[in-house]
Chain A
Amino acid sequence: MGVPDQILPILLGLAVLAPLASFVIILLFGPNLGKQGVGGAYVATGAIVCSAILSFLAGFIWLSSHMPPATVHHHDEHHEASDHAESKQHGPELHGSLEQDSHFALAKFSEEVEGDESGEHQDEEHGEAAQHDADADDAENFIPPVYTGHWYSLGRFMVGTPYEADVSINYYIDSLTIIMFCMVTFIASCIHFYASGYMHDELHEFTDPEVIMKDGSNLVRPGRYHRFFQYLSLFCFSMLGLVLAGNIAMTFVFWELVGICSYFLIGFYVERHSASTAANKAFIVNRIGDFGMLIGLMALWASLGTFNFGDIDRNNDGTPEEGLFSLMRPEASNHKLQAPDGMVALGAKDRIEELVLKAEDGTTREELEDDVAEMIPVWREGELEEDSTKYGYTLLVIAGLGIFCGCVGKSAQFPLHTWLPDAMEGPTPVSALVHSATMVAAGVFLVARFYPVFAPEVLFVIACTGCITLFIGATIAIVATDIKRVLAYSTVSQLGYMMLALGLGGWTAGVMHLVTHAFFKSLLFMCSGSVIHAVHTNEMTEMGGLRKKMPFTAYTMLVGCIAIAGVGIPSALGLPFGLSGYYSKDSILEQAYSYMIVNPIMGSVFFYAALGGAVITAFYMFRMWFLTFAGEPRDQKRYDHAHESPKVMYVPLVILAVMAAGVAWPFFGELGTEGDTYGFGLYNFIEQGRPLGLWLENDMASNHMFSDWLELSWPHESKSHAANIKGPVGLMAIGTAILGISLAAAMYLWRFLNPEDARKAFAPIYNFLVNKWKFDEAYNAVFVKPTHVVAWCIATFDKQWIDRFLESLVFGTRRISGFLSTYIDKLCVDGLINGVASRCYSIGHGLQKIQTGSLRQYVMFIVVGTITVFVLLSFWSYAIAQ
């Protein structure tokens, strides 16, 4: 199919393997690489920089062959022009009138009719569009370009059955993959450089100030510099492999690898009790999520017998094996989500058995199979007269929820978010990597990747989870005083934003926030690491005024804070412009607003939670910045000790600050062809990968699970860019940012308001938040304590009964074997052998006497013996003769 088809898998495959090679090299030769293993840093950094170069090369190749469509009018302010584009993008669904959005539910019927027409229209078009040619103008028929392929088959199972499944290493490359590759490798490169400076303490004997030995001295251990980089490399390899994976089984493998790497790195200071328990916590909490993910995997395999995302043409014969996405959203039904035949057949097992029982004698197997195949669409739609169950749909929901469970664990969503703040125990570069580009991004990435499989119910659950998480995380971050914990809870909150956006149908908004968040959060973490490096404490109460001492850190961190707060000029005030967080957060809010228009009740909960979260985000980020860098030093000793970090640490900060500011600017690429659209940006690039068929499901509420009590519709994402949404939301967003920042400034910079007073006034709430909503206590009481009690009971039973039983068995066995040993072994067997031996000995002893050594006697013996023989022979022959 051309150059990208050939070269992209090779480039990205090499980008995945480079960190693995680095890991193996450091694993084998780590301590010998340079003095104290300092060469490990060069190897690991070189490998990840190679990966970054390869990824960006792949990105350029991708862009040169698939320029993203420019139809998204992210920044337009002209109402008319927007209308024009809107109608163009949605074709038959929207008749050019934006007011129709608000009457969306009413207009359902006509949409359905129109939708069918558009479906037929699309079918005709597909023949040409299937060549992955990004037709920029015709968004309606735009098919996201995807490259899938097969590398290596690990094993085929259940060959010859309908559930034949192939577990293999293959790839799935779309614009999401490319963007994730560029983002992960770029940030990881910066972090590698930064870490080579940050971890220099590990280059010699390391005295751990937090580990006190029994004799009162601090623990002194050899440095583990190379080991740190070894884990970093493995981490990057796992994350890149996860992004490239072309099937869910392979994803799961890399998923677990990411988990184990985070375990190693969070527990890097393994001698510290807090670090090892935090590592355990991260690992165990993730296992809980992965359990759900396994259930999802089983549901998929048991019903569909494939793990592949996309269609893979293994034999290059033009007949690709269907992957999950095309099974779930078949081209024939216009990419509308439906339970695949396999799921329906599994769900309607009883029905099939009924058919088999009812069958008349003589019905052949083929006829029966034809009957079943005929009935499957009926069962799927629940069109039986006596039974309106939609068979297979439950399985679809279970599969989606199961996969999302894994994402909940990995992306630290409520209720499994408790591991993430504890993961601060790792070295700061690890926090930056775990909390921006790799571990937590993996969960959001998987939701985005698996988006075509999620049923509306699942999307609703995702949105609720994200909403709760963003609120919990934001509120706890207000009261945290540990600089890294503020950022950790901020991460939890921002991940909630991403999940919320994804759950509300804002695929592009969610993924975009993932990317921009990765940049500014890694920047913030590395800045905080630089501060900790300088003052040797995490407590913000002991900092203050540090901007004079460390200007680079202070102002790059300010950029990060502005970016995460989403400060920007809203489109209503002229040219929209802002730092990266502005674009992504606005997209999320716009999508939430658009959702609120369609679903007033649930939508307003989501929207106002997101809006409130935005206020709180701005507040706690600037609270942190003011406490750390502004005002007067609160601890003079620490202030005097503080110094700017070495160049190798602050140069990555500057680079990341530039990226955090500008990554979402819509300036690269050519100008749009239409008057109302200009610029290609990250948004367009991401939008290029949006799964097929999402906008055909405006009536996703018409499903049986929610229809009784909750009517929900998912508006298409591009509607959220309409001017009547963009205007008010932009103003509200900037309003929240300004409100949050000024509140923080009033309390912590100008001191109009005394934080102490606020603390006293809201003492119960403050305590509740300081205790992190008492999640740890609750989990302790609900899960850990009962587990301990049950374990104690079982241990007692074990000791009292099982051990006693076993001990009595042991006693009996000993008695029996003692008897056998005494009487059988010692007496009979030994006696027999000893008797034979002593008999031989005494015979030999007797014969010794005739061995006189006298020569003459021997001659006599010979003579006498010979004569005796003759005499005897004579007698014998005489006797025979007689």
Chain B
Amino acid sequence: MEWLTPDILTEPVGLSHFLAVGAFLFVTGAVCMATKRNTLGILMGIELVLNGANINFVAFASPYFREDNLGLDGHLMALFVIVLAAAEAAVALAIALNYYNNYATIDVDKANELKG
């Protein structure tokens, strides 16, 4: 029954747990981007991916988990990613609105003009 209780469930909360949550968020986001046909859904997936990465930064920055941590650099990177996400959301929503204006839909499968 040992395989039912892996170390991660038994040991106290540490770096691995944060990384697991981040990875989960990242994969969820990536899957969301790959499967959603709705532009807004894809934007949400992007947010999930970014935040998954952010969790990793913050976890690696914590002095409680590792001796050689990233320190304030990790926090700063996280802050940058948040700013980046905000800017990206603004631009992407503008694209989405224009897209809707032109095609009367926000289904990305309809947008295949870049096909070579």
Contact = CB atoms under 8 A, between A and B. Distances in A.
Task: Output the residue of B36, B42, B114 with the most chain A CB within 10 A.
Answer: B114
A214 interface: no
A860 interface: yes
A859 B30 contact: yes
Contacts of B36: 856
Task: Output the residue of B37, B111, B114, B116 with the most chain A CB within 10 A.
Answer: B116
B109 A856 contact: yes
B14 to A, nearest CB: 23
Given A859-B30, A863-B30, A852 B112 contact: yes
A854 B36 CA distance: 12
A852 B42 CA distance: 18
B35 interface: yes
A80 B97 CA distance: 140
B116 A856 contact: no
A570 B92 CA distance: 130
Contacts of A851: 114-116
B59 interface: no
Nearest to B42: A855
A853 B113 CA distance: 6
Contacts of A847: 116
B94 interface: no
Given A859-B30, A863-B30, A852 B35 contact: no
B33 interface: yes
A848 B116 contact: yes
B34 A853 contact: no
Contacts of B113: 853
Given A863-B30, A863-B34, A856 B115 contact: no
B108 interface: yes
A854 B113 CA distance: 9
Nearest to A847: B116
A860 B34 contact: yes
Nearest to A867: B30
Nearest to B112: A853
Interface string A629-643: 000000000000000
Contacts of B35: 856
B115 A852 contact: yes
Contacts of B37: 856
Contact of A854 (B30, B33, B109): B109
Nearest to B27: A863
B112 A854 contact: yes
Given A863-B30, A863-B34, A856 B112 contact: no
Contact of A853 (B30, B33, B42, B115): B115
Contacts, number: 38
Contacts of A863: 30, 34
Contact of B111 (A849, A855, A859): A855
Given A859-B30, A863-B30, A863-B34, A853 B114 contact: yes
A847 B116 CA distance: 9
B103 to A, nearest CB: 13
A842 to B, nearest CB: 14
A854 B37 CA distance: 10
A853 B112 CA distance: 4
A860 B109 CA distance: 14
Contacts of A855: 42, 108-109, 111
A860 B33 CA distance: 9
Nearest to B36: A856
B27 to A, nearest CB: 9
Contacts of B42: 855-856, 859
Nearest to A866: B30
Interface string A859-874: 1100100000000000
A856 B108 contact: yes
Contacts of A852: 112, 115-116
A322 B25 CA distance: 115
Interface string B85-116: 00000000000000000000000110111111
Nearest to B115: A853
B114 A856 contact: no
Contacts of B33: 856, 859
Contacts of A848: 116
A515 to B, nearest CB: 101
A854 B115 CA distance: 7
A849 to B, nearest CB: 8
Interface in A828-882: 847-849, 851-856, 859-860, 863
Interface string A471-488: 000000000000000000
Task: Output the residue of A851, A852, A856, A860 with the most chain B CB within 10 A.
Answer: A856
A852 B33 CA distance: 17
A128 B111 CA distance: 119
A8 to B, nearest CB: 95
B42 to A, nearest CB: 7
A144 B115 CA distance: 108
B108 A853 contact: no
Interface string A328-340: 0000000000000
A184 B33 CA distance: 109
Nearest to A861: B34
Nearest to A863: B30
Interface string B5-41: 0000000000000000000000000100111110000
A860 B37 CA distance: 13
Interface string B56-94: 000000000000000000000000000000000000000
A856 to B, nearest CB: 6
Contacts of B30: 859, 863
Contacts of A853: 111-116
Contacts of A849: 116
A852 B111 CA distance: 10
A849 B116 CA distance: 7
Nearest to B111: A855
B111 to A, nearest CB: 7
Contacts of A856: 33-37, 42, 108-109
A476 to B, nearest CB: 100
A865 to B, nearest CB: 12
Nearest to B37: A856
A856 B114 CA distance: 13
A856 B36 CA distance: 8
A532 B42 CA distance: 111
A192 B109 CA distance: 99
Contacts of A859: 30, 33-34, 42
Contacts of B109: 854-856
Nearest to B108: A855
A700 B97 CA distance: 124
A853 B116 CA distance: 7
Nearest to A848: B116
A16 B32 CA distance: 104
Nearest to B39: A855
Interface in A416-453: none
A843 to B, nearest CB: 13
Interface in A790-813: none
Interface in A18-75: none
Given A848-B116, A853-B111, A853-B114, 13 more contacts: A851-B116, A852-B116, A853-B112, A853-B116, A854-B108, A854-B112, A855-B42, A855-B111, A856-B33, A856-B35, A859-B33, A859-B34, A863-B34
7 contacts: A847-B116, A851-B114, A852-B112, A854-B109, A859-B33, A859-B34, A859-B42
- Please name the 4 residue pairs, one residue from A and one from B, whose CB atoms are nearest each other, closest first: A851-B116, A853-B115, A853-B112, A853-B114
